[in-house]
Amino acid sequence: MTLLALGCATTVTACAPTQSATTQTTPTPAVTPTPTATPTPSPTRTGPPAFTSKVSKVTRDQLRYSWRPGCPVGLDDLRLVTLTYWGFDDKAHTGELVVHEDVTDDIESVFKRLYAWRFPIYKMELVDKYKGDDFDSIEANNTSAFNCRAATGSSSWSKHAYGLAIDINPRENPYVSADGSVAHKNARKFADRPVDAAGVINPGDRVVRLFASKGWEWGGYWSGTKDYQHFSKGGG
Protein backbone atom coordinates (compact mmCIF):
# COMPACT_ATOMS: atom_id res chain seq x y z
CA MET A 1 0.00 0.00 0.00
CA THR A 2 2.57 2.45 1.08
CA LEU A 3 4.90 1.56 -1.74
CA LEU A 4 2.20 2.17 -4.29
CA ALA A 5 1.41 5.51 -2.85
CA LEU A 6 5.05 6.52 -3.02
CA GLY A 7 5.30 5.60 -6.69
CA CYS A 8 2.26 7.56 -7.50
CA ALA A 9 3.52 10.54 -5.81
CA THR A 10 6.49 10.76 -8.12
CA THR A 11 4.92 10.03 -11.48
CA VAL A 12 1.58 11.66 -11.66
CA THR A 13 0.56 10.65 -15.12
CA ALA A 14 1.34 6.97 -14.74
CA CYS A 15 -0.67 6.72 -11.58
CA ALA A 16 -3.46 9.01 -12.57
CA PRO A 17 -6.77 7.24 -11.99
CA THR A 18 -8.89 6.43 -15.01
CA GLN A 19 -11.38 9.11 -14.16
CA SER A 20 -9.09 11.76 -15.60
CA ALA A 21 -9.26 10.05 -19.00
CA THR A 22 -13.04 9.86 -19.12
CA THR A 23 -13.31 13.15 -20.93
CA GLN A 24 -11.56 11.55 -23.93
CA THR A 25 -13.92 8.60 -24.29
CA THR A 26 -16.87 10.58 -25.63
CA PRO A 27 -15.53 12.13 -28.87
CA THR A 28 -13.73 9.07 -30.21
CA PRO A 29 -16.33 6.45 -31.10
CA ALA A 30 -16.01 4.08 -34.05
CA VAL A 31 -15.91 6.81 -36.66
CA THR A 32 -13.87 4.85 -39.16
CA PRO A 33 -15.21 1.37 -40.04
CA THR A 34 -12.43 0.97 -42.70
CA PRO A 35 -13.85 -1.68 -45.07
CA THR A 36 -10.47 -2.03 -46.75
CA ALA A 37 -9.30 -4.04 -43.78
CA THR A 38 -11.20 -7.12 -44.97
CA PRO A 39 -8.75 -9.34 -46.86
CA THR A 40 -9.73 -10.05 -50.47
CA PRO A 41 -9.32 -13.74 -51.26
CA SER A 42 -6.94 -14.56 -54.08
CA PRO A 43 -7.69 -18.10 -55.20
CA THR A 44 -5.03 -18.21 -57.90
CA ARG A 45 -2.24 -17.00 -55.66
CA THR A 46 -0.54 -20.35 -55.40
CA GLY A 47 -1.48 -22.10 -58.67
CA PRO A 48 -1.41 -21.07 -62.33
CA PRO A 49 -4.30 -18.97 -63.64
CA ALA A 50 -7.43 -20.57 -65.02
CA PHE A 51 -7.75 -20.97 -68.77
CA THR A 52 -9.35 -18.02 -70.51
CA SER A 53 -10.15 -17.39 -74.15
CA LYS A 54 -11.66 -14.50 -76.02
CA VAL A 55 -12.90 -14.26 -79.60
CA SER A 56 -12.81 -10.93 -81.38
CA LYS A 57 -13.02 -9.55 -84.88
CA VAL A 58 -9.87 -8.81 -86.82
CA THR A 59 -8.81 -5.64 -88.54
CA ARG A 60 -6.86 -5.19 -91.73
CA ASP A 61 -4.04 -3.73 -89.67
CA GLN A 62 -3.72 -6.81 -87.48
CA LEU A 63 -3.37 -9.04 -90.54
CA ARG A 64 -1.26 -6.68 -92.57
CA TYR A 65 0.92 -9.46 -93.98
CA SER A 66 -1.18 -12.61 -93.67
CA TRP A 67 -4.28 -11.33 -95.48
CA ARG A 68 -4.71 -9.47 -98.75
CA PRO A 69 -7.51 -8.93 -101.25
CA GLY A 70 -7.95 -12.09 -103.30
CA CYS A 71 -7.58 -14.45 -100.34
CA PRO A 72 -10.19 -17.22 -100.26
CA VAL A 73 -11.74 -15.79 -97.08
CA GLY A 74 -12.69 -12.24 -96.22
CA LEU A 75 -11.57 -10.45 -93.08
CA ASP A 76 -15.18 -10.66 -91.86
CA ASP A 77 -14.89 -14.46 -91.85
CA LEU A 78 -11.84 -14.47 -89.59
CA ARG A 79 -11.57 -14.17 -85.84
CA LEU A 80 -8.77 -13.51 -83.40
CA VAL A 81 -8.73 -15.99 -80.54
CA THR A 82 -6.74 -14.85 -77.52
CA LEU A 83 -6.17 -17.73 -75.13
CA THR A 84 -4.11 -19.16 -72.32
CA TYR A 85 -1.49 -21.77 -73.14
CA TRP A 86 1.09 -23.68 -71.14
CA GLY A 87 4.69 -22.87 -72.02
CA PHE A 88 7.87 -24.91 -72.14
CA ASP A 89 8.93 -22.83 -69.15
CA ASP A 90 6.13 -24.41 -67.07
CA LYS A 91 4.24 -21.15 -66.91
CA ALA A 92 0.98 -19.86 -68.29
CA HIS A 93 1.12 -17.53 -71.29
CA THR A 94 -1.33 -15.66 -73.47
CA GLY A 95 -1.28 -16.50 -77.16
CA GLU A 96 -3.06 -15.33 -80.28
CA LEU A 97 -4.46 -17.37 -83.14
CA VAL A 98 -6.46 -16.27 -86.18
CA VAL A 99 -8.96 -18.82 -87.47
CA HIS A 100 -12.17 -18.98 -89.46
CA GLU A 101 -15.21 -17.94 -87.44
CA ASP A 102 -16.72 -21.41 -88.00
CA VAL A 103 -14.03 -23.10 -85.90
CA THR A 104 -13.51 -20.75 -82.95
CA ASP A 105 -15.48 -23.13 -80.70
CA ASP A 106 -13.25 -26.04 -81.74
CA ILE A 107 -10.12 -24.04 -81.05
CA GLU A 108 -11.25 -22.76 -77.66
CA SER A 109 -12.33 -26.22 -76.60
CA VAL A 110 -9.15 -27.95 -77.79
CA PHE A 111 -6.81 -25.43 -76.23
CA LYS A 112 -8.69 -25.45 -72.96
CA ARG A 113 -8.00 -29.18 -72.79
CA LEU A 114 -4.37 -28.83 -73.85
CA TYR A 115 -3.90 -26.29 -71.09
CA ALA A 116 -5.50 -28.60 -68.54
CA TRP A 117 -3.07 -31.30 -69.66
CA ARG A 118 -0.20 -28.84 -69.42
CA PHE A 119 0.72 -29.76 -72.98
CA PRO A 120 3.54 -27.31 -73.63
CA ILE A 121 3.49 -24.89 -76.53
CA TYR A 122 6.64 -22.99 -77.32
CA LYS A 123 5.19 -19.80 -78.72
CA MET A 124 1.87 -18.55 -80.12
CA GLU A 125 2.01 -15.34 -82.13
CA LEU A 126 0.30 -14.19 -85.30
CA VAL A 127 2.33 -14.98 -88.39
CA ASP A 128 2.18 -11.26 -89.08
CA LYS A 129 4.89 -10.89 -86.45
CA TYR A 130 7.04 -12.65 -89.05
CA LYS A 131 5.68 -10.53 -91.88
CA GLY A 132 3.59 -13.50 -92.98
CA ASP A 133 6.71 -15.57 -93.69
CA ASP A 134 5.87 -19.19 -92.95
CA PHE A 135 9.51 -20.28 -92.91
CA ASP A 136 10.48 -17.65 -90.34
CA SER A 137 7.49 -18.45 -88.17
CA ILE A 138 8.37 -22.17 -88.22
CA GLU A 139 12.03 -21.42 -87.58
CA ALA A 140 10.95 -19.55 -84.43
CA ASN A 141 8.92 -22.62 -83.39
CA ASN A 142 5.75 -20.57 -83.52
CA THR A 143 2.30 -22.11 -83.29
CA SER A 144 -0.03 -20.34 -85.73
CA ALA A 145 -3.14 -20.85 -87.83
CA PHE A 146 -4.36 -18.44 -90.50
CA ASN A 147 -1.98 -17.48 -93.27
CA CYS A 148 -3.14 -16.68 -96.79
CA ARG A 149 -0.63 -18.82 -98.68
CA ALA A 150 -0.44 -21.75 -101.04
CA ALA A 151 0.04 -25.24 -99.68
CA THR A 152 3.69 -26.22 -99.36
CA GLY A 153 4.96 -27.40 -102.72
CA SER A 154 1.68 -26.57 -104.44
CA SER A 155 -0.04 -23.72 -106.27
CA SER A 156 -3.43 -24.26 -104.62
CA TRP A 157 -4.52 -22.62 -101.40
CA SER A 158 -3.44 -24.18 -98.13
CA LYS A 159 -6.11 -24.87 -95.51
CA HIS A 160 -4.28 -22.18 -93.56
CA ALA A 161 -5.50 -19.67 -96.15
CA TYR A 162 -9.07 -20.42 -95.02
CA GLY A 163 -8.27 -20.23 -91.31
CA LEU A 164 -9.08 -23.94 -91.05
CA ALA A 165 -5.62 -25.27 -90.18
CA ILE A 166 -3.16 -24.91 -87.35
CA ASP A 167 0.51 -25.78 -86.93
CA ILE A 168 1.60 -26.75 -83.42
CA ASN A 169 5.21 -26.63 -82.20
CA PRO A 170 6.71 -26.89 -85.70
CA ARG A 171 10.18 -27.62 -84.32
CA GLU A 172 9.08 -30.66 -82.33
CA ASN A 173 6.61 -31.58 -85.08
CA PRO A 174 8.31 -30.93 -88.40
CA TYR A 175 7.14 -31.14 -91.97
CA VAL A 176 8.96 -34.16 -93.36
CA SER A 177 9.18 -34.55 -97.12
CA ALA A 178 8.58 -37.90 -98.77
CA ASP A 179 12.34 -38.40 -99.07
CA GLY A 180 12.72 -37.87 -95.33
CA SER A 181 14.25 -34.41 -95.53
CA VAL A 182 13.38 -31.62 -93.10
CA ALA A 183 13.85 -28.02 -94.17
CA HIS A 184 14.50 -26.71 -90.69
CA LYS A 185 17.77 -27.88 -89.16
CA ASN A 186 16.55 -27.31 -85.62
CA ALA A 187 13.74 -29.84 -86.24
CA ARG A 188 15.71 -32.72 -87.74
CA LYS A 189 16.06 -34.66 -84.53
CA PHE A 190 12.26 -34.78 -84.33
CA ALA A 191 11.76 -36.20 -87.82
CA ASP A 192 10.83 -39.73 -86.70
CA ARG A 193 7.79 -40.91 -84.82
CA PRO A 194 7.17 -41.73 -82.08
CA VAL A 195 9.36 -39.30 -80.16
CA ASP A 196 9.27 -39.07 -76.40
CA ALA A 197 9.75 -35.34 -75.79
CA ALA A 198 7.80 -32.34 -74.59
CA GLY A 199 5.43 -30.76 -77.09
CA VAL A 200 5.63 -33.67 -79.53
CA ILE A 201 2.54 -35.04 -81.28
CA ASN A 202 2.65 -38.79 -81.86
CA PRO A 203 0.38 -41.12 -83.85
CA GLY A 204 -2.79 -41.92 -81.94
CA ASP A 205 -1.86 -39.86 -78.91
CA ARG A 206 -4.37 -37.79 -76.93
CA VAL A 207 -3.65 -34.60 -78.87
CA VAL A 208 -4.43 -36.32 -82.18
CA ARG A 209 -7.56 -37.87 -80.67
CA LEU A 210 -8.65 -34.55 -79.18
CA PHE A 211 -8.46 -32.78 -82.54
CA ALA A 212 -10.10 -35.75 -84.24
CA SER A 213 -13.04 -35.48 -81.85
CA LYS A 214 -13.74 -32.04 -83.37
CA GLY A 215 -13.25 -33.21 -86.96
CA TRP A 216 -9.65 -32.03 -87.35
CA GLU A 217 -7.30 -34.38 -89.19
CA TRP A 218 -3.62 -34.74 -88.49
CA GLY A 219 -0.94 -34.21 -91.14
CA GLY A 220 1.11 -36.97 -89.50
CA TYR A 221 -1.23 -39.48 -91.11
CA TRP A 222 -0.56 -38.30 -94.64
CA SER A 223 1.11 -40.79 -96.93
CA GLY A 224 4.45 -39.76 -98.36
CA THR A 225 4.90 -36.29 -96.90
CA LYS A 226 4.29 -36.05 -93.15
CA ASP A 227 3.25 -32.79 -91.59
CA TYR A 228 3.41 -33.55 -87.88
CA GLN A 229 2.61 -29.98 -86.79
CA HIS A 230 -0.51 -29.71 -88.95
CA PHE A 231 -4.18 -30.16 -88.05
CA SER A 232 -6.95 -29.11 -90.39
CA LYS A 233 -10.73 -29.10 -90.17
CA GLY A 234 -11.97 -31.82 -92.50
CA GLY A 235 -8.45 -32.72 -93.62
CA GLY A 236 -6.12 -31.28 -96.23
Could you tell me what percentage of the chain is helix, strand and coil, using 3-state DSSP and rounding each to the nearest 5?
30, 20, 50
Q: Which residue's CB is nearer to Zn ion, number 100 or number 230?
A: 230
The residue at minimum Cβ distance from Zn ion is: 230
Residue 219 Cβ, how far from Zn ion at the closest point, in Å?
Answer: 6
Q: Which residue's CB is nearer to Zn ion, number 51 or number 222?
A: 222
DSSP 60: T
Among 108, 167, 172, 217, binds Zn ion (CB under 5 A): 167
Asked if the bond preceding 39 is cis, omega within 30° of 0, the reply is no
Chain positions 92 to 131 lying near Zn ion, rule: CB under 5 A, are none
Only one of the segments 26-34, 79-87, 159-167, 179-187 lies at the binding site for Zn ion (rule: CB under 5 A); that segment is: 159-167
Q: Which residue's CB is nearer to Zn ion, number 51 or number 193?
A: 193
**Per rule CB under 5 A, count of chain residues that contact Zn ion:** 3
3-state secondary structure of 36: helix
Q: Which residue, 183, 161, 157, is CA-closest to 170? A: 183
**SS3 per-residue string spanning 86-145:** ECCCCCEEEEEEEEEHHHHHHHHHHHHHHHHHCCECCCCCCHHHHCCCHHHHHHCCCCEC
Q: In sequence order, what are the residues at sequence separation of 6 or more whose Cβ sits closer than 8 angstroms to the Cβ of residue 189?
A: none
Only one of the segments 40-48, 90-98, 208-216, 226-234 lies at the binding site for Zn ion (rule: CB under 5 A); that segment is: 226-234
Dihedral sign from CA coordinates of 186, 188, 194, 196: negative
Residue 229 Cβ, how far from Zn ion at the closest point, in Å?
Answer: 6
Q: Which residue's CB is nearer to Zn ion, number 128 or number 167?
A: 167
Q: In this structure, are strands 226-227 and 78-86 parallel, antiparallel, or unpaired?
A: unpaired
Q: Which residue, 143, 151, 146, is CA-closest to 67? A: 146
Q: Which residue's CB is nearer to Zn ion, number 51 or number 125?
A: 125
Residue 75 Cβ, how far from Zn ion at the closest point, in Å?
Answer: 21
Among 79, 123, 230, 233, binds Zn ion (CB under 5 A): 230
Q: Which residue's CB is nearer to Zn ion, number 92 or number 95?
A: 95
Only one of the segments 9-17, 63-71, 85-93, 167-175 lies at the binding site for Zn ion (rule: CB under 5 A); that segment is: 167-175
Does 217 contact Zn ion by CB under 5 A? no
Question: Residue numbers of the site for Zn ion (CB under 5 A)?
Answer: 165, 167, 230
